[in-house]
Structure formats: structure tokens, C-alpha cells
Structure 1
């Protein structure tokens, strides 16, 4: 090496500095630091006599701050190189192979890449910048499922799902494929409400031939305690619309209701030929069924979860509740004393169907009010002609009223029919348990259950379903509770939710307290609900709790407060579905529905 000694020394310093530069750059304050250890003092003495200067360099300028942590490869070599290709790219290429149209596009773009709409990039065809998919139904469904059933898709409808897909992909028949997939999505069919007009055209009940031939019965529950009563039995004649309002006390049984019917209705009008009612536990009990079977009275039940079948009584209930609300809103515990005058008010008011007061149609005259009598009283000599005139008048008015009612009701309804063997989803609306507390997950539960297969058609607007063997509800449902299952390859759902699926009842009292509302002190209890953990217990007003659960009896709730016990009897009736005298019968033991006996009911 033709270098002088000075140059060689300089070169040695240069090489050392270049090699150990990363150490030297961190010693800007080396000569100014305090030496704490013997090792630091010994090393520092070895640098004495050398002329050097350590200069600080900012960290932002030191791009190789982590150089010390790296192994100094002098000549790095690539040992292995791997790359991955998404699976969907392979599937897209496969879709071109089995699609003549896509294969032709590939051949054309390989020769001429100046097409206006189609381009070829890395073996993938693009249509206006979007990935083109060949005729591959399985891949189409896979992509639609990713953009519809995933959390990003959110089970959106056809327009939203189609818009998401069009942002990235394109293929022939995309719109029809998306529509078919979304409409047959079982989760969507069960979770989304039915937006169509109410299915099932109105089918009015037949007109009775005479007074008190066909009657309807229902209960008004959830009322505050008034005297010894906390509910009302409503009995209505379908011919004259005459009604009886009878106060009852919870808990009552089928035998006690039959006794009240005998004392308050039978003694005035005798036995009817048919009784229309909903599927209340009283009307479904063996005692009630056998009693009226021996009396040759036909029991006609509404279809499951369709209270509109007995719409007349429901409307009378609304009128009675409105009357009581107007007069006892300031003293609700006095409602029982207003029942007699409420019955007289209703029966002396002209009915919209007949144009006459029920009292007048039944007895031939209007009751006397305020010391003034009606001069149009039927004379005994004209009684026979009046009966004939009443019959002709009611037949004409009933026919006109039925036509008008059906025309008005069908404006908001649609016709829906099924065939035997079709699969349908079932909507369960626990209207019969409206006084129960809703479950915590009621809002997030499925709206439809199933699918279930149709076994037979009952009348014009009801169908019998093949429910699971464990189902404790009547298998005949109105068409408004059914929705066609779109798709294929269905299997019967093995589980049907309990009738109290979406509802809970008090299980036990956990705690007590008193809260202040204005100037009043309101006692409350901490209630654990059935089918819920103790962590979801809620504070409830004692009075409100007694009103919401009258079947437990007033003493039942008070006993809970004193003993902290359980509503064992009431809970057992709901959960076990076993009643003794007032027991619920199975689907095969219930009486005929309105659709199979009196005709059709909307």
C-alpha cells in the first residue's frame, strides 16, 4: 500500500470511526459526564491524550437509530420468496372457464385491449372498472352472502345489497340473483316484519235467527280492586247486541264463571245455542267444555292469536272501558258501582249495525229516563206484528251492515291463500297475556317462527299447521298470522316457543323500599321475573303489581310481601300448563273454532 504512515494512521481512524460510528454518535456529552463506576474511569483514561470532539446529532437526523439491534450482513441473499393469491381470484378465473361469454371476452381482450367497457388486468376481466364474474351460481351466492348476511351487509334489503355489490362486481343477471337470495333468506323472513296489507279478507259471522241464539263472552282484566271485584265478565247477544256486564273477583274458576252465568244470564234468557269466545283458559277447561256439551251448547273458539274473530265483544269492551274511564278516573276504586248504569247506558244507546237500541230490540220499548216515557210503546195487540217487523228489519239492517263493514275493512286488507303442503312462518302475538311483564329480549326476538307445514285448510281464512309434539297451543291459525316461506329444502322447526315465551311473571320478591313521589310515599318491591336471572330484577310499585297480576289474587301479592314467597300456583299454571278443574286441554280436545262452526270470521 503506497501510503505514508500518517495517511495509514488517518485511514485507521477513518475505518474505526466508520465502523463504530453508531457508538460514537451517542457520546456527545462524554467528557462532561460524571464518572460513577471504576470501569468508566478506567476506560476514560485510555482516551486521554487524544484530540477528539464529540458532537450531538438530533434524533430526527439519525435515521439508523436501531442499527445496533441488527446483525451486520455483508452480502444478504434471498433464501426463499413466496407469494399468495386470494382464493376468490382462483374462483373468478374458474368462472370464466365454464362461461362461454367470459371465455370469448378473454380471447377478444387478449387480441384487442381497446374495448370501451371491458378491460383485462392480471387475468381478471373488469367491466367499467368492476370485477367481472362469469356464469358461476355458487360463486354468485357466495358473494351475495358476504354482502348480505355478514355484519357489513346487515341483512339489508334487495336495493341496498345490490348497491353494495355493484360497487365492486358485475355479472349477468345480478339483480335477479340478489332478489332471489334476499327473499329466500330465512333469517330475514323470521326477523323482519310483514309490510304487506293485513292478510285475509273480512268474513263476518252469520246472522243469528233469533234473540240470544248466539252469544259472545269475554273478560276485562287488570282493573283496580273495587269492593270484592277486580274484573268484568262481558256477555253480548249477537242478534240484538244486548250486553250484560258482570263484576268478578280473581282468582275465579270455570265453575264459578258458570255459576255467575247461570245466575245473571240464564235466568233472563235461557241457554243459547252457541257461545263465541277467545281461547281463554276458562273457556278451554274440561269443566267448561263438558258442562256445555251436556247442555247441548256449541262452543266456538277463535283461532289462535287472532282476537279479531270475536271483534264484536272486543268493541263492547272498549266502549265499557271508555265509559268507566270518563266517570271514575278520579276514583278508580268505585268502578263496580257504575256497572249497572253502564249496562243501561250501553243497551239504551242506538247501535250502529241495527240503528236501534239493544234494549228496544229485545223488549219492544226504550227504558224510561228522567221521568219521561217513550210514547212509541208496542201495544199488546200489535205484539205479533212487531215481532215480524223486528225480524224483517234486523235481517235487512244486518245484511246492509255486513256489506258496509266488509267493504270498509277490506280496504286495508289483502287476500292471501296457501295450499296443503306449503311451508309457512308463524307469527305469535301473546295478546291473551297483555297484562304480563315483557321479557328483556322481547324487542330482539324473532317475529316469526318455523317454518311449519300446512296440513289442512279450515274455512276460508284459517289453516291447520303441523306443529311440534311439544307445542301447547291450538294448531289452527288465521291467515294473518302466517307468511309464506320463500325458498326450498325446508325442515320443520323442532321447537315452538312456549305461549309465555315473550312474557314473564313474578318469581320472587328480593327486596323492598319506599320512594317519594311528590308528597306521597310509594312502597315498591324488587321483583325477580320468571325466565330471567336475579341480576335483571326490577323495582315495581306494589299497587301496580297487584293490578297487572290479578289472577294471583290480592292476598297473593300481599303474602309475597310478607313472606317473600313465590306465586307458585299461578306460575305453575302458566309454566306447566296443567290445571285441575280449570285445566287447559290439548289441541285435540279443544272445541271447534268459529271458522268450523258458525262460518268465517275476519
Structure 2
């Protein structure tokens, strides 16, 4: 073997098919990534991989600005294969559209042959060099540093095109003289007799040996009179359609119910325009539909119609042979029992089916989560129709009816199966399109054709051996899902009445009790309360759920959060099946949120978010809200934000604040908790940042001046933060807006205790590793060690940083989206923007964003509406649609406001009850008072003369007491 030793460590020579990596024009100058965590075994395998490939020069140390993470995928034999995550690289790589041979030409080349050999090659990626000068683009990051490959690695975009170009070059002569047909990894040697076949095969194998090519013996066919090529059966001088393409249709079981007939006809209806006299043929089956509820029958007439329609679907002109031009579409669906798919191609401006698939799920596959089942349907379809889709001339679309695939849009820890699927998907150029189930009928029906026997699924499976248990406990201990619970505290409300109601109604829910018996590791009982994976299960009782929703949304410490933050808050403690839907409905129907929250249009999202800090309080942003109405002699708010954890500190101050004053505030309120920042972001200019840092050093007694980097505000974080603070204050401050300092601590607490969409964590948790206790009864507590708490906090911060990177990408992608409003109808209730309306409140900044609700009387022109306004409003009643927002009616009892009370009858005259006096003004020789009526909104406030308030002396006295010196 020694004379051939060089073959085992020699780097492949450079060739005309070296793999090229060409970037798009908007490619970034750098791509960063983090090192994925690995097990000790994986680290050992990584060292082995690096050492071996460094020795053969297949990789080398790199200084590239690009870095792809890497991870291990288990092979079927149990060994590990290192894979690079080249998703970001592939996104900016120009797709190589080197054409494969035309399918029609390949078939024409073979159809007259009498005998064939068919060989399936093993793709040798590492036998192809990366084009000189492109190696740095494919660099990958490990815990031993950054390396770049000199040979092609699996997962790179365009690798199939490179491989195809390589094969076409190596076997050029045989392909040109007609003795070999090649399409991707399939090689077909045609011949008129056995002697010619043997000669051509020997010639082919000599060339393959010269280039160190290998073949999959189990997938090769020798001396056959017919073979399947590109979904077509070639042999005996003709080409026929492969049975696999239409097997799903030909094997369609005879219907035994009206529902099954409706399903079959629903599928057939998609292709009726291609089937001549479809209505006449299908009439016997349609008769069964019209007799739903009557005795079932199936006669020769129905059987003949059933077979005739199947035959029509499975042959031309319905089923078309694929052409070299025309976009492909793959429609997939997964049910609990199977996967279905339809491959279609656009030919002459019509979409024709090319092939059908209906596959039964195995017992193991039936255990997959729904998003895995849907992805499995895609994988099976791509494998089956690989020869059409791998080098499709146009980007093809995959239509799926499950939004569950969105699970894979976010960074996930892939299991071995998902990782293998991920690597396979990198080879294809496609777009995913979500199609609701009601419009994805074809694939949906195919996925439900077969219902296998599931009675033995998961039976007798011993998940854990007895020796794996350390000990048994007399009282079962809750088993927490690590990714869900993160060693956090779980609390319940201190309202014993609510607890008693939960206990009472839980006992009535037999379904939950059955689940508790079947899955004690997920559902258990403690002190009469049922827990599901560590959360209190809330029974199907509207009053209880309404109370919980109200308690997590309306009070000051809840602060009217949006759907995402409210869901995260409620789920710390509670769970019920419709929790997400209920919270969305609750938030949508909250009139306080509708009146006060800023409506963010997609085109308002900043396009250039700033780089992400590495840890909390390393980088801060500072801004001021003001001027505001005076509250305890303060007229402004300093907003200090940690850009990593999103934690905020709010400090009341004055608009005359100097940099030295700000330094004192920072020292007293922030520095003693978090230290000195490395960078400051402010829209007040670099001089402001510099003066602030100098003043801070002076206040702290630091002799040397610390320098700081300055960035102008470009990510919109502080602006959005200011909006959230203002929104909170609008919901709780009084009409005069002079008590906002009272609500500031609660606004700060509310924000820091709510999950941030960019990080997926609360600012409290990212800073301290736990959630604040809010005086509730703690029913389940874990006590992590200091070491595990630190490790967990580091992991959570890493996850948060990755989440923020993803959020930044989403911000860029959504930057140019447009927003379109629905038209309003007569009688609709709408909110009216306060943009051009002057109220009696001191500042617009803390006033409601919208007034109303008002009724739409009629539409004026294309984009304006006439509203029914209060009689006291002396303004034009026609408004452009941009100033109007449709009212979302409340759906929960706690949100519904009582009907305004009828007027009292005093001295035979109607009189409404005064709830509050909100202002006064001189009118002529007298004084008028701004009155807020009990049970009515602010828009109904009205100016009333003193003489009309003789029955409101108490309200007048309270108003005067709040004035300076108690005088008007």
C-alpha cells in the first residue's frame, strides 16, 4: 500500500470545476456567530476532525471577517459528522444556475436502447477544491478558533451545480457520443445488446477510477431491460409514466361513506377543467352527496364513475410530463396518519399536476410534533421529486397549510433528525408559502387517505430503566421541563376565593383528571391544585379566567401590556388550552389600550439598529421626556436604558438639568447598582456625552477622566421607550396630569418585569437571574446552587443576545412594508386621533392618543367619514381615514363598562351626576367649570356655569382644595 499512501492525504488538484462562492451586491462586510456548546464526546470528535484536516490541508487557520457556527449531526451508524451552519453565507451567495441536461433530451437519448446499466454515484464533496481566493468566505468558528476550508463542505449553496459541472466535464466524451446519460447523481449506460453494454460500462468505470469516484452498490442496476429515469420508465423502445407518480390516485380506496365521496370529489374538482364531461361522469357520485342521511349504497354506476375519474386524473391531459421550462410548485400536508403532496408545473399558463404522493407515517413518525410532521412531508416530497427540483430553472414554491413551520424561523436546538433535514434543505432554492387548510385541499386529502392501525403505538415503551432512578419519594415531586421553567419561582394569587374556585371546578374536568393519570410526569396535583408542567391549570370557567386576565393587565403593576408581554407574564404561573387566544382577545378589546397606545406602522421601524452589547450595563442610552406639567416641582423625566437587558431607570427632574446634575442623578440612581458604562447613546451630541462622563468622574471622586464612545440615536430604542412610558402614564394619571411622579416607580417596575420581545426575557431576569417576588403565595420553589444559577444566567444572556440579533434582522426586513386600512361601514364605532384636536389638559404628550368611540354616520368621498360627535364639540365632523381606527369591542365581562346611568329627576328636571371638576375659566363676568360626568368618557366633558352646579358642592370643594391657596 505504501506506493499509494499519497492518495490518502493529498489535497485535490485545482480544476475547472473548483467551487465558486460569489456574493450578491448587498453582502455584508462581516458575519459573526457564536460557538455552539458541545458535549465532551463532541469536543473530542471536533479535535479529531480539526487535527486530521489540518494535517491534509483541507482546512487552515483563518482571519476571515466571516464566521459560520458548526455542530455535530449523528449518522445512522451512531458516529458523528461535523456540519457547518452556512445559512447566512448561503443567503448572500449568488445562485449558480448552471443548467442540467434537458430532461427531454436525456429521455430521447435512452428510449431506443434494449438494455441498461444504471449507477448511483456517491457525492465526494471533499474531492472538490474551493476556488482560490474564496476560501475565507466559508470560514467556520470553533472553540479552538477560526478555520477556513480549502475543499467544498456539505451545506454550501451551489454545491449540486458544482458537482453537476464536475460530472459533465469528466464524462464529456461519453455523454457527447451517446454512450452515457447523466442527470445529477444518476448515470445510465444504454446499449443495443449485452456486448455493447459491457464495453461502455468498462470505459465508464475506468474514467471513474481515474477520478477516485465511488458508487452506491445497493442503488445500482445491471443488465436490465427497463429502468426508471426522472420519473419515467424507459425500456422496450418506449417511455411510460412511472407508477409511483400516480400510485396515490390508483390506490384510492373505494369510499364507504358520503363524507369519503365528498373528499374524493373535492380533490377531483381541482382538475375538472382538464377532464372532458366531468359533470356527467361524476353525476352518480354527486347523487350520493344529495342523499346525505339516507341509507348508504354503492352500485356499479358509482364504481364506474369512481374508476373513470381516477383514470382521468392519472393520465394526460390532467397529469402532464414535466417540461424543461415552467415553475414548479409543491403542495404538502401532514395529518396524524400520513403525508400528502402534489407536484405541479406551470405549462402554457396553466398549472398541471406532474406527480402525486400519499405516504403512511410509521409508528415512530406518528409521535412527531406537528411542525416535524409538516417538515417531514416536505422532506419526503423533495426526496421523491429531487430530480425535478434540485436544479429547477426557477425558484419553486412549497405550499403548506401549517403555520407551525414558523417554529423553525427562530434559532432552535435541532435534534439529530432535524439537523439531517436542515442539511438536505440547503441544496434547494425555494420559498415557503403558507396556505390555509381550507385552500390546501389537494395535499390535505392525500395525507388522510390511509389511516393505519395505531392501537400498538407507544405500547410497552419503558422510557426510563429502573436503575436510572436515584430514589422514590412518598410524595411525587413535580418534574419540570427545563426549557420552560428555567428554575424560576412559580406564584399564585393570594386571593383564596379564586384558589377555592379553581379547586372546585378542576374536580369537574374529567379530561384533565384522565391526563393526570396517564401522564403523571406532566400533570400532577398538590394541595387540591392541578399543575401542568409546573403551572397552575385553570379550569374552563369564564369568571376565573377573566379575573386572572384582568389582574395581569389592568392594575398599575401590570400596566396594560401587549399580547406578547401579557402572555409571558400569565404563563409564569397559569396555563389553560386557549390562553394565547384569550389574552389576544383581552388586549384587543381593552379600551384604555386602544385610546392610549401608539400605533406603530411597519415603515416606522428603524432600518439600521446598532450593534448589540456583550453584557448588561456596558452600554446605556439616556434621554429626557419633557417639558411636562409640574408634579412635585419636577417637569421632566430622565430615562436611562441598558441596551443589553432593556432595564430602565426613571428619575423625575427638571428641564433645566445640567450635565453635572445628570451625573449626580446617575450616581445616586444607577451607578451604585450597575457601575460606569463604556458607551453612551444620546441624541444630544458628543459634547453632552463627554461633559456627562467628566461630571460623573468628578462626582465619584475619580481623578482621571474616563472616555466614552458616542453614537447618535439610530436604533429608535429610546424613542420607543419614551412612548411606552408615556402610554403607561396616560392610563393612570389624573386629568390635570400633575401626579405623574407618583406613578413613575410603578411604570419602571412594570416595564422591568415584562418580557421584552427582542430578548425573550424580562430585564429583571437578565440582570439578576430571577423574577421579583410580588407578595404572592409561593407554591413551588426550586433552590438552585450559586454555580448553576450563574451558569443559567450566562446561558440566558447568550440566548438573549442571539434573540436581539434576530430581532435586528427582522427590523431591517420589515422596514419598507406598507400598511393598508380597511374601509369603515355606516354604524361602525371608531376612535379619532387627537392630532388636530385641542383638549383642556395641560400637555398633549400625556393626553389620550385617541378620543371616542364615535359612530360613523356615512362615508364622504373615497377616504373620509362623517362622525357623530358630542354636541359640545364645535369642530367639523368629517375626518380622513388616516385619523380613524376601528373600535374593538370588549369580549370579557371585566372589560365591559356599565351603561351610563340615566339622569336623576330633581324638581321635575333631568340632572346628570358630576363625578369630577377638572378645570375652570372666566366667561364674561362669570366662571365656568369643566365637568366630567359619571359614567361618561372624557369626550363628553363640558363647560358648565357655576349656577348650574348647585347640587355638586362636594365636587366643587374638592376641586378648590387642589388649587394653589384654595382659590379660583
**Category of TM-score, reference length = shorter chain:** 0.3 to 0.5
Indicate the structure (1 or 2) with the bigger Cα radius of gyration.
1
Pick 1 or 2: higher relative contact order, CA cutoff 8 A, min separation 6.
1
